[in-house]
Amino acid sequence: MKAARLLKLTGQVTRVIGLTVEVQGINASIGEVCEIAVPGEPEAIRAEVVGFRDGSTLLMPLGELRGIHQGCSVTPGGGSFKIKVGEQLLGRVLNGLGEPLDGLGPVGGHAMDYPVDGRPPNPLQRKRITEVFATGVRAVDALLTCGRGQRLGIFSGSGVGKSTLLGMIARYSSADVNVISLTGERGREVLDFIETDLGPEGLRRSVVVAATSEQPALVRLKGAFVASAIAEYFRDRGKNVLL
C-alpha cells in the first residue's frame, strides 16, 4: 500500500524556454518520465524531469516540442525511462528512444521493460581482461590485438574508414551479438552503413540504435544509454556482446 500511487496528479505547463518546459502541480523526481498531452495530437509527448526551480518542475522533451502551449496537462509516469528488450531485437533498427525505425512493427514476442539507467558495476567486481577478442580483421588482430571486455576508441577525420572498419568487425568478430549505436550521424549515412558496411549477415546478429544529428539533444543522449541497456540485457543472458 505504501508504494501504491493511487491518485494520479496532473499539472500544467506554465512556461517553455528553449528546450526546458516548466510545469506546476506535479510531484515527480529527477529522471521520471512524464507525459504532456497536446490537444489534437494522438500521442502525448514524453518528457524527463531534469530539475526544479521556484516550485516548478523542469522537464526536457524526449521528442519534438511542437504543439505544446501554456496549460497543457502533464501526468507523471511514475518511473524512469524504460525500453522493450528481448531476443527478437536482433536484426532490428531502433531510434534513440528504443522504438523501431525499420517499419517491421513493434518489438513483440516476450519483450520486457528494461530500465535504461543501469548502475555501473563495482570496480572490484569487474572481470579482468584475460582473453583475446578476435575482431576478424587480420591486420587489427595481428598488430593491435584486442581483449574481451576492452574499450577501444577509433578516431579519424571523415572518409578515412571508421564506418567500414566497424562494419567489418560487426560481420566477422567473435562476438555473439553486436549493438551498434549511430549517434549524431547524418541521416543519409544510416542506410549506407546498414546496407553497405553491415550487410544482411551483419545485421542478422546486430541491433542498431540510430539517433541522427537532427534529433533533439536528449534523444541523442538517450540513444547511447539505450544501446548500453540493450547490450547489458544480452550480457545478462550470457552472450558476448560487442557494443
Ligand X SMILES: Nc1ncnc2c1ncn2[C@@H]1O[C@H](COP(=O)(O)OP(=O)(O)O)[C@@H](O)[C@H]1O
Residue 165 C-beta: closest distance to ligand X, Å: 7
Which of Mg ion, ligand X, none has residue 160 at its interface (CB below 5 to 8 Å by kind)? ligand X
Q: How many other CB atoms are found less than 10 A from the CB of residue 30?
A: 12
Residue 155 C-beta: closest distance to ligand X, Å: 10
Residue 16 C-beta: closest distance to ligand X, Å: 37
158: Cα separation from own chain's centroid: 24
Nearer to ligand X, 186 or 237 (CB): 186
Give the list of residues 6+ apart from residue 85 with CB closer than 8 angstroms, or none.
107, 111, 112, 114, 229, 230, 233
3-state SS class at 225 = helix
Nearer to ligand X, 26 or 210 (CB): 210
**Residue closest to 77 by CA, chosen among 27, 127, 118, 119:** 27
Q: Where do contacts with Mg ion occur on this chain (CB under 5 A)?
A: 163
For 117, the grid coordinates are 539507467
Which of Mg ion, ligand X, none has residue 122 at its interface (CB below 5 to 8 Å by kind)? none
Nearer to ligand X, 176 or 189 (CB): 189
- CB of 75 within 8 A of CB of 23? no
Nearer to ligand X, 51 or 187 (CB): 187
Residue 130 contacts ligand X per CB under 6 A: no
Which of ligand X, Mg ion, none has residue 135 at its interface (CB below 5 to 8 Å by kind)? none
40: Cα separation from own chain's centroid: 28
Residue 161 C-beta: closest distance to ligand X, Å: 3
Residues 133-192 that bind ligand X (CB under 6 A): 156, 158-164
Residue 181 C-beta: closest distance to ligand X, Å: 14
Residue 163 C-beta: closest distance to Mg ion, Å: 3
* Measured CA angle at 158 (ends 152, 163), to 5 deg: 50
Nearer to Mg ion, 58 or 211 (CB): 211
Q: How far apart are CA 172 and CA 57, in angstroms?
A: 48
**Residue closest to 69 by CA, chosen among 22, 138, 130:** 22
Q: Please give the residue ranges that form the binding site for ligand X (CB under 6 A).
A: 156, 158-164
